[in-house]
Structure 1
């Protein structure tokens, strides 16, 4: 029975992993300028119209390897925001600090993946822009900086991550689908890096650009960080 249970679990995982892939024959959209590793900024190198905020959420974990906790570069860290950031400066892949529509959460970080008049679709955990696969590190399902397979491989020796309910939850989120929408002009479609902990355009829809208050240019590298309240700008 134990052997059968183990084989069943492997089968479930293989189904989940395959659900997060896309056909190599599909057209792709790349992003060559955005790095998955955020910039570490020394306190003395902050210039221009910037502001520092401490970020209290874990929806932007993307820096591998998770085993060393290095993906938590924003969670409870002091982040540096460029307030001179406007519509003309926006690029795909930018991390922005924005008002969360209709939420008591107030402000959040998310990544821009699409602009006004672009078509956005999610098929089994993969983002499509104008019918093309967004083939980037942020264009598909990930949790704590990893695909489902990577996450399971890292945690396979931890009993809590062998729980079938946990695996099935991950599988469901990996296969998330969203019908194609057209982003209205004056809006962007934003997605958090960690899809499991996300609250982004997948839930509240396209974000008005007027809700964006700044661009994240990095985090404070100083180990002795001061505490800054996450108050409205």
Structure 2
């Protein structure tokens, strides 16, 4: 009887532990690859990439040309996983000296009101694992999450209402932005064009 009671207690503890675990945030919709476009559509603009912070394939290489839809968010909400075109906080001097660009592109990883932390190269949103291609650290030839080399952010980042957190796809090259107000996001990346 004691043995049976012990087994029941152990099973109950396992079930209770499982109930307390927060489910991961899963993004099954975001794909890394952008469509290759022959030309931009009406009202769309192009942006030439100046750095390799998003580079995991040719489409995001330095000097690649991305197609931006500046009207995209007039009828849609900004979503986690979107690659957005945004106005940086670069100074006029940095822009003139080509140290930083006035506009850049990066991926939305956290939304207004959320808290983000990074442990061993893995993003957690409100203490829930972000299970997606951009939720873990990519380093040159693969993912390094869980290793001693992986990024840890000592402090959580709390986003206020109307703020978004953006990150490059290759963190060690460009990393995370400061929380961005919605007004700085000027459009969505909808495709890319091969440079001539």
Taking structure 2 as the reference length, what is the TM-score of the superposition? 0.75
| Partner residue of 1:183 out of 150, 159, 172 | 159
- Match of 1:14? none
Find the aligned partners of 1:207 and 1:145 in 2 and give their Cα distance: 29
Secondary structure of residue in 1 paired with 2:42:
coil
Find the aligned partners of 1:145 and 1:84 in 2 and give their Cα distance: 35
- Match of 2:97? none
Matches within 5 A, 1:102-181: 102=90, 104=94, 105=100, 106-144=102-140, 146-148=142-144, 172=149, 174-181=150-157
- Whether 1:72 and 2:66 are equivalent positions in the alignment is no
Q: How many residues align?
A: 165
| Partner residue of 1:48 out of 34, 42, 49 | 42
Q: After TM superposition, where is structure 1 displaced by more than 6 Å over at least 4 residues in a row? A: none
Find the aligned partners of 2:33 and 2:158 in 1 and give their Cα distance: 30
TM-fit CA distance, 1:48: 3.1
- Match of 2:187? 214
On the 8 A contact 2:23/2:129 being kept in 1, the answer is yes
Secondary structure of residue in 2 paired with 1:41:
coil
Structure number with larger C-alpha Rg: 2
On the 8 A contact 1:118/1:130 being kept in 2, the answer is yes
On the 8 A contact 2:118/2:151 being kept in 1, the answer is no
Once the two structures are superposed, what CA deviation does each residue of 1:118-146 show, in whole Å capped at 9, x if it has no partner?
12111121101121100111001112462
TM-fit CA distance, 1:199: 4.2
- Match of 1:159? none
- Match of 1:228? none
More helix as a share of residues: 1
TM-fit CA distance, 1:189: 0.7
